[in-house]
Amino acid sequence: MLTEYMNKNGFYEALSKTGVIPVVVLERAEDAVPLANALVKGGLPAAEVTFRTAAAADCIRKVSEKCPDILVGAGTVINVEQAKRAVDAGARFIVGPGYDIETVEWCIANEVNVIPAAVTPSELMALINRDVHVTKFFPANIYGGIPAINALASVFVGHRFMPTGGVNSENLTDYLANPSIIAVGGTWMVKPELFADGDFSQVETIASEVSAAVCTHCA
């Protein structure tokens, strides 16, 4: 159902439309499907499942197989081996906390959507020259946030950013209002303590609030 998002332009359109990409850390694979369903019901049909836990690949596989309405990808991918495992599990995109050029080139060669992170002009130049036109800006709150993105965007015209790190409900609309920002990544709607008891209703509620903020901004 989401095969069109494997195309780079379609993927970028999906990012822009969703506005907020939940950054998910899961210790248990059995939490993956109910969490994904809660996000979809709340109006955020995307999830970046991070490779910070041993369960990451299994979580991606379960979501990919059981939740056709969510755009699922892998985050905190730092090498080609992880990228291959993620794609084999069903990840439709790869996100890195920085960039490993070998991983970026593997993704490009295999037509896998990739969002590497870059915060300096030299990093951006290296990636743009490899036809990467959307990058993660992480950690956004440490590296200057919106003023830093504006400065970079004034030089790298047309390039777009996905800031993550320090983005929250209080500053969300400020980030989304910036034309150089395609979407943001955040954890506040998927924090493990919200569903530690097996109840995912809080995730759905917060996702609904975030989705409403995105819709208000778009309107």
Q: How many CB atoms lie within 10 A of CB 18?
A: 21
Told to judge if 193 belongs to the known catalytic residues of this protein, a careful annotator would answer: no
CB 195 within 8 A of CB 148: no
C-alpha to C-alpha distance for 24 and 3, rounded to whole angstroms: 22
The residue from 8, 48, 62, 204 that is catalytic is 48
Quickly list DSSP for the chain: --GGGGSHHHHHHHHHHH-EEEEE--S-GGGHHHHHHHHHHHT--EEEEETTSTTHHHHHHHHHHH-TTSEEEEES--SHHHHHHHHHHT-SEEE-SS--HHHHHHHHHTT-EEE-B--SHHHHHHHHTTT--EEEETTTTTTTHHHHHHHHHHHSTT-EEEEBSS--TTTHHHHHT-TTB--EEE-TTS-GGGSTTS--HHHHHHHHHHHHHHHHHH-
Which one of 8, 62, 136, 204 is the catalytic residue? Answer: 136
Q: Is 17 a catalytic residue?
A: no
Whether 168 contacts 149, CB under 8 Å: no
Catalytically active residues, by annotation: 48, 136
